[in-house]
Amino acid sequence: MAGILFIISAPSGSGKSTLVSEVRKQLSGIEFSVSWTTRPPRGSEQDGREYNFTMREEFERMVAEGQFLEHAEVFGNYYGTARRSLELARAAGHDLLLDIDVQGAAQVRAKMPEAVSIFVLPPNPKVLRTRLRNRSRAEGVVNEAELYRRLSEASREIENYRGYGYILINDILDRAVAQLEAIVQAERYYRNGEVIAYRPGRVLEVAAACRQVNSQERLKPVLEAFGIIGSSNQQLLNFEEDSDDS
């Protein structure tokens, strides 16, 4: 049975890592590719668990040696997926999940068009700001400049949603987790004939509704809130905090 490559991208703070960790608790046979990065560890992150943390010179040496399937510079740091992650997952017949930015996703799709790609969006800019801020507080470091940098990149990243096969709007966490699980199960069913044990009809229906081609109605208010469609609303793009966000 061939392993499936899943790519998941989202603006920083959308809840991608949260979704992935919830789904990994529920589904077996899916590995998470631990990326390499030159950014310093954040909060409780551990080397080799969330990321392989490294120095710029070492990263550049790895690039020169062709060790990366893809790599990109994001928020001033390098990030990359080692080819070895893919080789190991393939040898084990496991699915592999890459949590990578839109630049990296485009590189992987060009090399491996069979990859399943999923774009996660927050419901609106205010929620995104609140989540980024809460995460920084929980990690004990609120870096306003870094927060602003990540927020201001969000709309640009969201503009890339069209390149992705599936769209997840992470509003209510449980629902988004169920949708991500359904996508994984549906792809396993269609590609490998894997049986869906519980309510298969419902699972396939949920996954189908998340396909990008079926997501236009759900997407519209989110794209408007980020000023991506509805040009008259562009100036309303607003990352101001909600009153309950202090």
List residues binding ligand 5GP (CB under 6 A): 9, 12, 35, 39, 70, 72, 74, 79-81, 99-101, 103-104
Please state whether beta strands 30-32 and 95-99 pair in parallel, antiparallel, or not at all (unpaired): parallel
Q: Which listed residue (8, 9, 13, 59) binds ligand ADP by CB under 6 A? A: 13
Cβ contact 177:23 at 8 Å: yes
Q: Which does 101 bind (CB under 5 to 8 A by kind): ligand ADP, ligand 5GP, none?
A: ligand 5GP
Q: Smaller CB distance to ligand 5GP: residue 12 or 179?
A: 12
- The minimum distance between CB 188 and ligand 5GP, in angstroms, equals 23
Residues 110-139 that bind ligand ADP (CB under 6 A): 131, 134-135, 138
- The minimum distance between CB 175 and ligand 5GP, in angstroms, equals 22
The DSSP code sequence of the chain is: -PPPEEEEE--TTSSHHHHHHHHHHH--SEEE--EEESSPP-TT--BTTTEEE--HHHHHHHHHTT-EEEEEEETTEEEEEEHHHHHHHHHHT-EEEEE--HHHHHHHHHH-TT-EEEEEE-SSHHHHHHHHHHHHHHTT---HHHHHHHHHHHHHHHGGGGG-SEEEE-SSHHHHHHHHHHHHHHHHHHHH-----S-HHHHHHHHHHHBGGG-HHHHHHHHHHTTSS-GGGGGG---PPPGGG-
Residues 149-208 that bind ligand ADP (CB under 6 A): 170, 173, 176
- The minimum distance between CB 246 and ligand 5GP, in angstroms, equals 23
Q: Does 18 bind ligand ADP (CB under 6 A)?
A: yes
Q: Smaller CB distance to ligand 5GP: residue 160 or 212?
A: 160
Cβ contact 11:122 at 8 Å: yes
Q: Which listed residue (4, 6, 9, 15) binds ligand ADP by CB under 6 A? A: 15
Select the span of 7-15, 83-91, 207-215, 236-244 touching ligand ADP (CB under 6 A): 7-15
Q: Smaller CB distance to ligand 5GP: residue 23 or 206?
A: 23
Q: Which listed residue (14, 33, 81, 117) binds ligand ADP by CB under 6 A? A: 14
- The minimum distance between CB 150 and ligand 5GP, in angstroms, equals 7
